[in-house]
Chains A and B, each alone.
Chain A
Amino acid sequence: MTAHDISLSRRNLLKGAGALVIGLSLPQAGRAQSGAAQVFSPGGAAAFAPNAFVRIAADDTVTVLVKHIEFGQGPFTGLATLVAEELDADWGQMRAEHAPADAKLYANLAFGIQGTGGSTAIANSFEQMRRAGATARAMLVQAAAQAWKVPAAEITVERGVLKHASGKQGRFGEFAEAASRLQAPAEVPLKDPARFKLIGKDGTTPRLDSLGKSTGKAQFTIDIRTPDMLTVVVARPPRFGGKVASFDATEARKVKGVVDVRQIPSGVAVYATGTWPALKGREALKVAWDESGAETRGSRELIAEYRRLARTEGTVAGRHGDAEAVLARADKVIEAEFVFPYLAHAPMEPLDGYLEWNGQGALARLGSQLQTIDHQVIAKVLGLGPEKVRVETLLGGGSFGRRAQPTSELAAELAEAAKAIGPNRPVKLVRTREDDLSGGYYRPLFLHRMRGVLKDGRITAWSAAIVGQSFLKGSPFEAMIKDGVDPVMVEGASELPYEIADFRCDLHTVDVGVPTLWWRSVGHTHTGYAVECFVDRLLQEAGQDPVAGRLALMGKQQRLATVLKAVADLAKWNGPGPVGGRARGVGVVESFGSYVAQIAEVSLGEGGEPKVHKVWCAIDCGVAVNPDIIRAQIEGGIGFGLGHVLYGELTLDQGRPVQTNFDSYRSLRINEMPEIEVAIVPSSEKPTGVGEPGVPPIGPAVANALARLGRERPLSLPMVGGSV
């Protein structure tokens, strides 16, 4: 993902413009309330579109077409910041809107297709969006130069105003039309970072979406209402892999508002004039399920099998030295076995989608995270060429990975539901919380068996066996699996940041009929916990300080060591305690190219539950484009991670999900949220991710604090109320 991968050729620019002209005719009702809709309104002929990403209107607004889905992590603001910086725009004139699905124009440069994930939005857009802004700036300057009959080099741009020493000045909107008749320059210079006015400057780029989201005006997929639209809910099998054997819709059809009932591949779809009639219709439906191919094992059985497998030889995912030999001749082997439950993403807005088609073409609108795959799947289901299908991305009410399905199960179900009732019946597919939590695509259940040896106060050997499911296997991302090792199952565990002479990591990949998926910070959700708990335990046994002991092992890991030192300074680290009933624990994890260290201050609260009072965090994510969004993502990452290590589990009982709503899938509440203090370590490295890296360290930080309060580091998550 370097600058030369980015092609903003004239040809592509024209195609981009064409795609957007088509966009003008789309219904406006559900667009993100970014204030940008007017730019696209028919008749907005003066809009200047220098490339696929920037639109400047006569009214002086600058709209950035954001290729990534905005579901809270901040790409609307972040990508607009990059454009505004090089454009020298005033932040007040910036708007953001989702770009349509178009893999040629809007691919994630880290993936090659349009999509969001791996905390790559800023990283892959950093130069692309700056170049888009710089191109627009150059063309506006050229237009002004022609109008004023002065050399372009003599024109300056500051906060959205073009100026010449002669006293002439004008705003972008005045030159938009003239600029639109110019040819885009092939090369544009980018700013020297020393001249940045917005990037990295606290307080200059408040979020573009806060007002709409604080007033109820922001539009999500669930808010779409169009004439004659039907709301659809689907009855799905109670166990994964089950199928419809037969169904009786007699009673369902009697429910007032139910319009139709149809079988689709994922179950039985109930179509109604509103959500409640659809739900009542589904309640009244009788379905006979064929469970001959269903997964009937529960979490308990799976854990037992994983335990057995962890004691056999697996596929080597990482090795140096000869850990087995050292373990075999050690006087004492320290062992720990960590069990991680299935977890649901449970975005606040359960997954949903809208689709209208007339037999020849289709428009789909949903919180799409892998637009290219969703686009292709919808086209395939409807038997249309992809060019006949438009996919609009809407604000997502959370995702945490759930909206990025390599299988596009949501888009497929949406298209199947539309197809089953036939053309010219727009459908909005909605899911309830029960559908969401019992619907699979979980963070896989994992088991880590760790063994280590200490000699003379040093860790001399480390062996880990990891057992779990691979969601890359059989997916479009299968090529990532190398030599039988799915890298996202072992990331963070197959190589350690700590120098240990004899090391080994084995992987056991198990086939289970439960659909699983990446979940905010992916493999690091479990490897971070296992590694950081185990190293902390070994250091404790060796009588070493959690911070100093780690630093002593971090020879080549300068950036990681730097954040650990930074967080220790921030927290005024003076050992783990406990002091006054509160102990402190450390967790430090590199993920998605970012380095994060956290210290958690913990006591034992009501009923012996861990009470986390405060978390200090230091992060090095390269150039910090929007410092306040970075802090927000760290706060959110810590809360999300903490909520799940404390309370989160999705248990299967004979193949059936046990937790079906927030009453049993306990989610962190405000009274359980710690105070958080974040230090962003200054860096001139390329920007890296912030959406996910805040998650992994918090679990082990809490566990390591508990170990200083006389508790064992929890070997099985969640820490509170675990049912298996």
Chain B
Amino acid sequence: MVHSINVNGTTHRVDVDDDTPLLWVLRDNLGLTGTKFGCGVAQCGACTVYMDGQPLRSCSLPVSAVGDARITTIEALAGKEAEAVQAAWVKHDVPQCGYCQSGQVMSAIALLKEIRKPTDRDIDLAMTGNLCRCTTYVRIRAAIHDAARTLEG
């Protein structure tokens, strides 16, 4: 059936089955391919988007459950936390293969919006849902701390 969803500030109408995960609507119907598929079962975090500003694994939410919520993908990131995190990611050369990094960046920004100066433990708890098979975790941690310093000004 036709679903009307708000993604990155625009309302889109998509004609897909109710059980279609939001992830595939974003990627296949809307062409927003920055959000990645990694497991399909909310184990890896590569598909992380925001729903009303909160992190969401888009592989595990059917489009029919989106309702009036506002979805934000990595393509529409804005704001000082996003700038600080992405700049820190580049400065630390965090990515290796890079495939999981959209999700990592989304989770890191969400963390810094809630906790201005996260501890290592805060980082563990927020980022443990984002797998990186290249295991770039050392740099993810360093970049988050660095971004926090930037935000401190």
By a beta-carbon cutoff of 8 Å, the part of chain A in contact with chain B is: 71-74, 206-207, 209-220, 222-223, 225, 231, 256-257, 274-277, 280, 346-350, 395-400, 432-434, 628-629, 632-633, 635-636, 638-640, 642-643, 661-663, 667-671, 673, 675-676
Contact = CB atoms under 8 A, between A and B. Distances in A.
Contacts of B17: 256-257, 276-277, 280
Nearest to A218: B98
A675 B40 contact: no
Contacts of A667: 131, 133
B90 A210 contact: yes
A207 B96 CA distance: 9
A636 B134 contact: yes
Given A433-B38, A670-B123, A639 B93 contact: no
Nearest to B92: A210
Nearest to B44: A662
B133 A223 contact: no
Contacts of B75: 216
B97 A215 contact: no
B89 A210 contact: yes
Contacts of A220: 36, 99
A220 B73 CA distance: 17
25 contacts: A72-B98, A207-B95, A211-B90, A212-B98, A214-B95, A215-B86, A225-B31, A275-B37, A347-B99, A348-B132, A397-B99, A398-B134, A399-B97, A433-B39, A433-B41, A635-B135, A635-B136, A636-B134, A636-B135, A636-B136, A661-B39, A662-B131, A669-B131, A669-B137, A670-B124
A206 B93 contact: yes
Contacts of B95: 72, 207, 209-210, 213-214
Nearest to B77: A215
Interface string B73-115: 1110100000000100110011111111110010000000000
B55 interface: no
Nearest to A642: B135
Nearest to A430: B37
B128 A671 contact: yes
B133 A400 contact: yes
A210 B139 contact: no
B24 interface: yes
Given A209-B95, A670-B128, A676-B138, A398 B24 contact: no
A348 B93 CA distance: 18
Contacts of A209: 95, 98
A348 B133 contact: yes
B140 interface: yes
Nearest to A671: B124
Given A231-B28, A663-B43, A348 B100 contact: yes
A398 B138 CA distance: 18
Contact of B97 (A214, A398, A670, A676): A398
A235 B137 CA distance: 35
B87 to A, nearest CB: 9
**6 closest A-B pairs by CB:** A216-B34, A639-B135, A213-B98, A397-B99, A72-B96, A72-B97
B125 to A, nearest CB: 8
Contacts of A346: 133
B28 A276 contact: yes
Contacts of A217: 34
Contacts of A257: 16-17
Nearest to B24: A276
B14 to A, nearest CB: 10
Contact of B96 (A349, A432, A632, A673): A632
B90 A71 contact: no
Nearest to A217: B34
Nearest to B123: A670
B99 A348 contact: yes
B33 A219 contact: yes
Nearest to B85: A214
A328 to B, nearest CB: 45
Nearest to B25: A276
B148 interface: no
A191 to B, nearest CB: 25
Contacts of A222: 33, 36-37
A662 B39 contact: yes
Contacts of B13: none
B71 interface: no
A99 B140 CA distance: 30
Nearest to B135: A639
Contacts of A275: 24, 27-28, 37
Contacts of A398: 96-97, 99, 133-134
B20 interface: yes
B35 interface: yes
Interface centre among A74, A348, A632, A633 (most CB of B within 10 A): A348
Nearest to B31: A225
B131 A276 contact: no
Contact of B137 (A213, A214, A670): A670
B46 interface: yes
A669 B96 CA distance: 16
Nearest to A223: B33
Contacts of B124: 670-671
Contact of A643 (B29, B73, B105, B135): B135
Given A207-B95, A214-B101, A216-B102, 14 more contacts: A72-B96, A73-B96, A214-B95, A217-B34, A276-B16, A347-B99, A348-B132, A348-B134, A398-B97, A638-B135, A661-B41, A671-B125, A671-B128, A676-B138
B21 A349 contact: no
A349 B47 CA distance: 12
Contacts of B43: 661-663
B135 A214 contact: no
Contacts of A349: 36, 38, 97, 99
Contact of A396 (B19, B33, B97, B140): B97
Nearest to A273: B28
Contacts of B127: 670
Nearest to A436: B39
B70 interface: no
A285 B100 CA distance: 31
Given A662-B44, A670-B127, A670-B130, A628 B93 contact: yes
Contacts of A215: 34, 74, 77, 86, 105
A541 B64 CA distance: 64
Contacts of B3: none
Contacts of B31: 225
A220 B101 CA distance: 13
Interface centre among A74, A275, A643, A668 (most CB of B within 10 A): A275
Contacts of A629: 93
B117 interface: no
A276 B20 contact: yes
A366 to B, nearest CB: 14
A634 to B, nearest CB: 10
Interface centre among B16, B124, B137 (most CB of A within 10 A): B137
A432 B133 CA distance: 16
Nearest to B140: A670
B36 A348 contact: yes
Contacts of A207: 93, 95
B145 to A, nearest CB: 13
